[in-house]
Amino acid sequence: MPATIIVGLQWGDEGKGKTTDLLAEQVAMVVRYQGGDNAGHTVVSGDEVLKLHLVPSGILYSHIVSVIGPGVVVNPTTLIAELDMLASRGIDTARLRVSASAHLVLPFHVAIDRAREARLAGDGAAVGTTGRGVGPAYADRASRIGLRMGDLLEPTAVTARIGRLVDERNAELARLGSDERWSAADIGEAMTAWGARLRPHIADTTALVQGALRRGDHVLLEGAQGTLLDLDHGTYPYVTSSSPVAGGACTGGGIGPLQVDEVLGVMKAYATRVGAGPFPTELTDGIGESIAERGKEYGTTTGRRRRVGWFDAVPLRYAVAVNSISSIMLNKLDILSGIESLELCVAYEIDGRRIADWPSSAEVLARARPIYESFEGWLEPIHGVRTLADLPETARRYVTGLEELAGVPIVLVSVGPERTQTIERAWRPMRHRPAIPA
């Protein structure tokens, strides 16, 4: 049975955690394929609100094998804390598997990340990272000097590599003006402790995923962040350090392109982004503040207030194309209730010209002025609606407008954080149709 990829179509924070949790009931395996604990997925089930940073959102289902793939960078301290949190809530984590090839985020990576951002901030050029050390860990991976989860099982075998890496990173910290330093002995001791705790979870996850596909199991792959933060396709340099796009699921999850049957895009009914970078439709008025408060737009990882704006269809068309999106889940439609008039960006004006294509340059994007189409809003709350017919006509018209601009069907519409607060809307025929839990 082929795989399904869930990918964010905006700047992240689109509600991929709910999407994964919603569809996971019908699958055998959920694979996280990129990012680190710089991302956060919030899953709501009854009175339970879980904020997950590394563990895949399917962990709530006892039948699912949850996999952290080789494309993820893992802070062992964060992972162990997350496992402890889940255990304290009675959630079984025995079926979690972490790729032995996933690279480690080590303490000096965190220190470098924060020191570098502090220096850039002094020049007015901070990227707005979460300060979790993810970028420096990916840099070491690309430089072929990083340490991996499998090294936790035999830390003495990599003693020399630990020493070289610690020396290089201490020197970098000195150049950045940081007083923090580490010793190879301290890192080696920590790795031994992490390995003892995580040994039952470390595995060859590519073999696990391929084995599941050969057996005919349905595999769901979830990304962190979103398309517009992709290292290659986002608003560089205000991006993450990995590939959240659907192609990243192949390299980061251990599958081939022909094994993918469905790519489900996830987006919100409005736009948000965290950190620095151009944001053409940003709202800085009372409407933006109201959306942020009602939508609880605060970062799962950092707690930072997200920037809020009207929906932007220019990058949507781009995201649909580069991900080969086959269908879309629209989240947080309920948050727009009570707004009399909604604006939807359909193009930009840049240097006096109308532009309908997504600019590859953040500098060009910073000069973009949105061209809007207006939609009549709806005043009544919709979080109790369960069928498309029961939505206000103006809400249906807004969803249809988004779908026409995307060029692919919006098949699920979320009107609240619970699994059950989801409207099933015109699924196209597909081989594996996930059922919405009752």
What single-letter DSSP state applies at residue 283? -
CB atoms inside a 10 Å sphere around CB 101: 18
Catalytic residue among 21, 41, 53, 113: 41
Query: 3-89+204-424 and 105-199 share one CATH topology?
Result: no
Task: Please report the pLDDT score of residue 163 as a whole number.
Answer: 95
Q: Phi and psi for 379 in degrees, rounded to 5?
A: -95, -30
Report pLDDT digits (tens) over 175-208.
999 999 999 999 999 999 999 999 999 999 999 9
To the query of whether residue 13 is one of the catalytic residues in this protein, the response is: yes
Task: Please report the pLDDT score of residue 125 as a whole number.
Answer: 64
The answer to whether domain 3-89+204-424 has CATH 3.40.1670.10 is no
Task: Please report the pLDDT score of residue 123 as a whole number.
Answer: 66
Q: What is the pLDDT along the chain (438 residues), one digit of tens a residue?
A: 689 999 999 998 999 888 888 888 889 999 999 999 977 667 766 666 778 889 998 888 889 999 999 999 999 999 999 999 999 999 999 999 999 999 999 999 999 999 988 887 776 666 777 788 999 999 999 999 999 999 999 988 999 999 999 999 999 999 999 999 999 999 999 999 999 999 999 999 999 999 999 999 999 999 989 999 999 999 999 999 999 999 999 999 999 999 999 999 999 999 999 888 999 999 999 999 999 999 999 876 667 789 999 999 999 999 999 999 999 999 999 999 999 999 999 999 999 999 999 998 999 999 999 999 999 999 999 999 999 899 999 999 999 999 999 999 999 999 998 888 999 976 543 344 444 443
Enumerate the domain spans of the chain: 3-89+204-424, 105-199
Comparing CA positions, the residue from 421, 371, 419 lying closest to residue 24 is 419
Task: Please report the pLDDT score of residue 431 as a whole number.
Answer: 42
Which CATH number applies to 105-199: 3.30.70.2660, 3.40.50.10860, 1.10.300.10, 3.90.25.10? 1.10.300.10
Report pLDDT digits (tens) over 86-99.
999 999 999 999 99
Whole-angstrom distance, CA of residue 284 vs CA of residue 288 = 6
Whole-angstrom distance, CA of residue 143 vs CA of residue 165 = 11
Task: Please report the pLDDT score of residue 46 as a whole number.
Answer: 62
Token duo for residue 345: 């960006």
Task: Please report the pLDDT score of residue 347 as a whole number.
Answer: 97
Catalytic residue among 13, 37, 140, 312: 13
To the query of whether residue 123 is one of the catalytic residues in this protein, the response is: no
Task: Please report the pLDDT score of residue 95 as a whole number.
Answer: 95
Comparing CA positions, the residue from 21, 136, 31 lying closest to residue 75 is 136
